[in-house]
A and B are shown apart, each in its own frame.
Chain A
Amino acid sequence: MVDIKDLEKAAREGKLDRREFIKRAGALGLAAPFATTLLTQAVQAATPKKGGYYKLGYGHGSTTDSLDPSTHENGFMTATVYSYANHLFEVENTGKLVPELAESFEASKDATTWVIKLRKGVEFHNGKSFGADDVIAAINHHRGEDSKSAVKSLLDPVVEMKKTGSHEVTFTLASGNADFPYILSDYHLPILPEKDGRIDWQAGVGTGGYMVEKFDPGVSLKLKRNPNYWKAGRAHFDEAELISLIDVTARQNAVMNEEVHAIDRCDPKTVHLLGRNPKIRILESTGTLHYTMPMRVSQAPFDDYDVRMALKLAVDREQLVKKILLGHGAIGNDHPISTANPYHNGEMPQRAYDPDKARFHIKKAGMENQQIDLSTSDAAFSGAVDAALLVKDSAAKAGININVIREPKDGYWSNVWNKKGWCTCYWGGRPTEDWMFTAAYVAESKWNDTDWRTGPAADRFNELVVAARSELDTAKRREMYHECQQLVNDDGGALVPMFANFIQAINKQVVHADQVAANWDMDGHKSIERWWFA
């Protein structure tokens, strides 16, 4: 069954890379990683074989999808845009952020001015040559008063964007942001041909390795190789088809019966059985995707520190990972920063299931055996209802009485999430700490689903996030982010019990580099461009 809210949620994700970027804030930083990329490309180019009709099944896609990049909100459209268009920057399969249509870049010391030099000699599918005007139109598509783009707020800090050469654009930011190029790799910002100051997205024309043959929203996308693709060692298939297969059983059947070559989002509960199929290989990657149970600290009883602490201690994380993810994931420590992020705080002690301590806190709050509602729906994540039942079970042993309410899937994200006191939720995560915290934890964020905005700990947290954003000293920045994680873990309303893996099933005929990108499923949604047939 299609679940638009699920997709809507996906729109908020912009996870691109896990690597530390600050090192390369200056132009000098480019040399090393870019060279590595060129090297990997060269190595891979020797082995891949050209040809074949690649079919890919995705657990996303909706009849309301459109090629307008400002409306993209699900994995299907992300994979679409990554196949026919390019961005200024891209996250490589190694996880490094590298220039794509950009050639090089330079940032001012305070990280407010960014001069980006563009690649020359690149052509769009319709023969138009690529230049600075296309970049400006593509970014402007999301800016302005009447913009309804999902990334409008991300681009708000851009105060000025100037063409400083036929192949050079200069961005000026309101405040320093060392992570700016990450934003430019967001899937909402493909570079499309400019026409009268606007991008012409209707035709589905880009600079990418594939040309759109037919796009049927919510059904399929047919692609044909772009013979003039500028990027070496990429786009190996002659033709490719992306099919929307929402039902997980249908998806798994399709790959088992060899009707598609690869699928995303396998059911962790049955993946051990799926792996027994001799034609299939299971590909897993650990990323920043995490499942949460946000408590709104502005609502009773979650305004009480002891209630929050009691619930955090009453969750059996090991059991959740074992039964909800069947081991395909890792336990979380009540903050959203994954081990894949650059400044993960590994020194902080892991919170464990401790019914005695939980009982102590709940008694202190005077809430023993009183009913606490937990709203849930499988719209939050697959197995969310079961997860809530497990929490109910483990909390009962600490004298905490949780009442699980299954809410309708329809409207879950507008009526329950960010409204009810305690619910289940998921976050795709973000490649950088700043992005993650800004999206869901700082006081001014609308998606602050824990409503953790005031109090000494929250104030300190908000100060730190702002300071760390333009801090160029890695060691200092690390310290700041570590403290942020500590604050969220202790005082915040976030209950983050687990990080989930991406699980994909791939036909053994399909080959990919040893390392696949972990920023999204399917090699960062770029399998069409990167993979090939054996």
Chain B
Amino acid sequence: MHPVVRTVLQRLGLGLVTLFVVSLILFSSIEFLPGDFGEAVLGQAALPETVAAFRKELGLDLPMHERYWQWLKGMLTGDMGNSFSGRGASGQDRSRPVVELLGPRLANTLFLAAMAAVISVPLALFLGITAALYRNSIYDRTVNALTLTTISFPEFFVAYCLILILSSFTKIFPSLANVGPETEFWERVYLTALPALTLTLVIVAHMMRMTRAAIINLMASPYIEMAELKGTPKAEIILRHALPNAWAPIVTVIAFNLAYLVVGVVVVEVVFVYPGVGQLMVDAVTTRDVPVVQGCAMVFAATYILLNLFADIISIITNPRLLHPR
């Protein structure tokens, strides 16, 4: 079998196992957290019998393994279940399916992640390559110091600074990114500009530094020295000789950061009032809305697994030794 195909299949299989274990871990840790959805939503107002009735309605009175098995059965048939919330009084069940809750928010999250990726990945590569090209120059040091400064600021701090400069003082972008499903594409781009920029500043340093390090790491290799001795221009050495061999570590870091864009943007969502999945998951954890927590976790874990798979494929494709094994 072709190594790429083999890796893909192997990884997808492992990914399913990973998803299963992740769901098990999250399910049981929420179980260990004090309080459940009945208590969280009904509040201290509720009489014990009301909570008991509500638990029964939600199926929370069943033992843990049975509830997990039910969830798993649903999941295997493509049904993520219904959110606990929205089950009203007097037995009326108006709860929304997890898919319906998750869908539009996931679209928003992916849009923001894509925006940030489109800005940050080329920028990081450009900065990394040029920094490697002019290493130890003033340019290199400045780029390094600047990017390090931006990642060492907490996200909300970067966000507030950007709002001050680009929203309060100059009125270029709005400070609220409250997009809806009907928002048009360019309008959406405009509204999400500040959150995307914040995320860019937060992740660009990591990718840029790895690009630079990976290239410099190769600069001492004999074949690069050879090229240098031949008198090949420096830029060409880096682009044609060093970069192709440096892809593997760079892509790994890019994948890691892209996963972060999808998974770890809760703080940015809160500051810009952006309706994404992160907020949904934090809300769901605090109310112990297990089906929603599990739904979000599955999406996050799948994103992570797929992005890593993607990084591995790139590593294999760019490395002839792996592409054509003996």
The answer to A–B direct touch (Cβ < 8 A) is yes
Query: Which residues in A have some Cβ–Cβ distance to B below 8 Å?
Result: 1-5, 8-9, 11-12, 62-64, 66, 68, 70-71, 73, 140-142, 144-150, 152-153, 198, 201-202, 214, 216, 218-220, 243-247, 249-250, 253-254, 256-257, 259-260, 410-411, 413-415, 417-418, 446-447
The residue among A141, A152, A253 with the most chain B CB atoms within 10 A of its own CB is A253
Given known A64-B287, A216-B275, contact A146–B44 (CB-CB < 8 A) = no
Partner of A141, one of B90, B101, B270, B289: B90
Known: A152-B45, A219-B180. 16 other contacts (CB 8 A): A4-B287, A63-B279, A68-B92, A146-B91, A147-B50, A148-B46, A218-B283, A245-B176, A247-B273, A257-B167, A259-B176, A260-B176, A413-B43, A414-B35, A415-B35, A447-B44
Given known A147-B89, A218-B275, contact A1–B282 (CB-CB < 8 A) = yes
Complex contacts, A247 vs chain B, CB 8 Å: 270-271, 273
Q: How far is the CB of A347 from chain B (nearest CB, A)?
A: 33
Nearest A residue (CB) for B280 = A63
CA distance A415 to B86 in the complex (A): 24
**1/0 contact trace for B36-50 toward A, CB 8 Å?**
000111111111001
Please determine whether B178 and A198 come into contact, CB atoms closer than 8 angstroms. Answer: no
CA distance A413 to B275 in the complex (A): 26
Please determine whether A411 and B90 come into contact, CB atoms closer than 8 angstroms. Answer: no
Please determine whether A11 and B45 come into contact, CB atoms closer than 8 angstroms. Answer: yes
Q: How far is the CB of B153 from chain A (nearest CB, A)?
A: 15
Nearest B residue (CB) for A154 = B45
Partner of B167, one of A1, A152, A198, A253: A253
Lowest 7 A-B CB distances belong to which pairs?
Answer: A70-B89, A68-B88, A64-B85, A414-B35, A8-B43, A4-B286, A253-B175
Please determine whether B175 and A147 come into contact, CB atoms closer than 8 angstroms. Answer: no
Please determine whether B180 and A216 come into contact, CB atoms closer than 8 angstroms. Answer: yes
Complex contacts, A219 vs chain B, CB 8 Å: 178, 180, 275
CA distance A88 to B270 in the complex (A): 37
Complex contacts, B41 vs chain A, CB 8 Å: 8, 64, 71
Please determine whether B89 and A244 come into contact, CB atoms closer than 8 angstroms. Answer: no
Please determine whether A414 and B272 come into contact, CB atoms closer than 8 angstroms. Answer: no
Please determine whether B286 and A148 come into contact, CB atoms closer than 8 angstroms. Answer: no
Given known A1-B270, A5-B286, contact A150–B45 (CB-CB < 8 A) = yes
Please determine whether B175 and A257 come into contact, CB atoms closer than 8 angstroms. Answer: yes
CA distance A214 to B280 in the complex (A): 19
Q: How far is the CB of A157 from chain B (nearest CB, A)?
A: 15
Complex contacts, A64 vs chain B, CB 8 Å: 41, 83, 85-86, 283-284, 287, 289
Complex contacts, A249 vs chain B, CB 8 Å: 156, 160, 271
Partner of B282, one of A2, A8, A70, A141: A2
Q: How many residues of B contact A (CB 8 A)?
A: 51
Partner of B44, one of A12, A145, A152: A12
Please determine whether A2 and B285 come into contact, CB atoms closer than 8 angstroms. Answer: no
Please determine whether B43 and A198 come into contact, CB atoms closer than 8 angstroms. Answer: no
Complex contacts, A245 vs chain B, CB 8 Å: 176, 273
Nearest A residue (CB) for B105 = A63
Complex contacts, B91 vs chain A, CB 8 Å: 146
Please determine whether A414 and B34 come into contact, CB atoms closer than 8 angstroms. Answer: yes
Complex contacts, A411 vs chain B, CB 8 Å: 33-35, 286
CA distance A260 to B176 in the complex (A): 10
Q: How far is the CB of B170 from chain A (nearest CB, A)?
A: 11
Nearest B residue (CB) for A449 = B44
Complex contacts, A9 vs chain B, CB 8 Å: 43
Partner of B175, one of A4, A12, A150, A259: A259
Q: How far is the CB of B266 from chain A (nearest CB, A)?
A: 8
CA distance A413 to B35 in the complex (A): 10
Complex contacts, A141 vs chain B, CB 8 Å: 89-90
Nearest B residue (CB) for A260 = B176
Number of A-B residue pairs with CB-CB distance less than 8 Å in the complex they form: 163
Complex contacts, A149 vs chain B, CB 8 Å: 89
Given known A147-B50, A253-B175, A414-B35, contact A66–B44 (CB-CB < 8 A) = no
CA distance A415 to B168 in the complex (A): 41
Complex contacts, B92 vs chain A, CB 8 Å: 68, 198
Please determine whether A243 and B39 come into contact, CB atoms closer than 8 angstroms. Answer: no
CA distance A141 to B88 in the complex (A): 10
Nearest A residue (CB) for B87 = A148
Given known A4-B286, A66-B85, A415-B35, contact A259–B174 (CB-CB < 8 A) = yes
A-B contact pairs, 7 of them (CB 8 A): A4-B283, A8-B40, A141-B89, A146-B89, A148-B54, A249-B271, A253-B168
Please determine whether B273 and A243 come into contact, CB atoms closer than 8 angstroms. Answer: yes
Please determine whether A202 and B46 come into contact, CB atoms closer than 8 angstroms. Answer: no
Nearest A residue (CB) for B163 = A253
Tell me, yes or no, whether B141 is within 8 Å of chain A by CB: no
Tell me, yes or no, whether B171 is within 8 Å of chain A by CB: yes
Q: How far is the CB of B263 from chain A (nearest CB, A)?
A: 17
Tell me, yes or no, whether B73 is within 8 Å of chain A by CB: no
Given known A4-B287, A218-B275, A410-B285, contact A418–B176 (CB-CB < 8 A) = no
Contact residues of B between 67 and 85, Cβ < 8 Å to A: 83, 85
Complex contacts, B167 vs chain A, CB 8 Å: 253, 257
Given known A71-B41, A198-B92, A418-B44, contact A244–B286 (CB-CB < 8 A) = no
Q: How far is the CB of B44 from chain A (nearest CB, A)?
A: 6
Please determine whether B90 and A202 come into contact, CB atoms closer than 8 angstroms. Answer: no
Complex contacts, B171 vs chain A, CB 8 Å: 257
CA distance A2 to B94 in the complex (A): 23
**1/0 contact trace for B16-58 toward A, CB 8 Å?**
0000000000000000011100011111111100100110000
Given known A4-B286, A63-B101, A418-B44, contact A254–B88 (CB-CB < 8 A) = no
Please determine whether A410 and B90 come into contact, CB atoms closer than 8 angstroms. Answer: no
Complex contacts, A145 vs chain B, CB 8 Å: 53
Complex contacts, B33 vs chain A, CB 8 Å: 411
CA distance A70 to B33 in the complex (A): 26
Q: How far is the CB of A330 from chain B (nearest CB, A)?
A: 27
CA distance A1 to B33 in the complex (A): 19
Nearest A residue (CB) for B45 = A150
Please determine whether B283 and A243 come into contact, CB atoms closer than 8 angstroms. Answer: no
CA distance A246 to B266 in the complex (A): 12
Please determine whether A66 and B86 come into contact, CB atoms closer than 8 angstroms. Answer: yes
CA distance A64 to B91 in the complex (A): 17
CA distance A70 to B43 in the complex (A): 12
Please determine whether B273 and A244 come into contact, CB atoms closer than 8 angstroms. Answer: yes
Nearest A residue (CB) for B266 = A1
Nearest A residue (CB) for B91 = A146
Complex contacts, A250 vs chain B, CB 8 Å: 175-176, 270-273
Q: How far is the CB of B167 from chain A (nearest CB, A)?
A: 6
CA distance A62 to B41 in the complex (A): 12
Given known A64-B41, A247-B270, A257-B171, contact A2–B286 (CB-CB < 8 A) = yes
CA distance A499 to B33 in the complex (A): 33
**1/0 contact trace for B158-185 toward A, CB 8 Å?**
0010010001100100111010100000
Contact residues of B between 249 and 299, Cβ < 8 Å to A: 266, 270-273, 275, 279-280, 282-287, 289
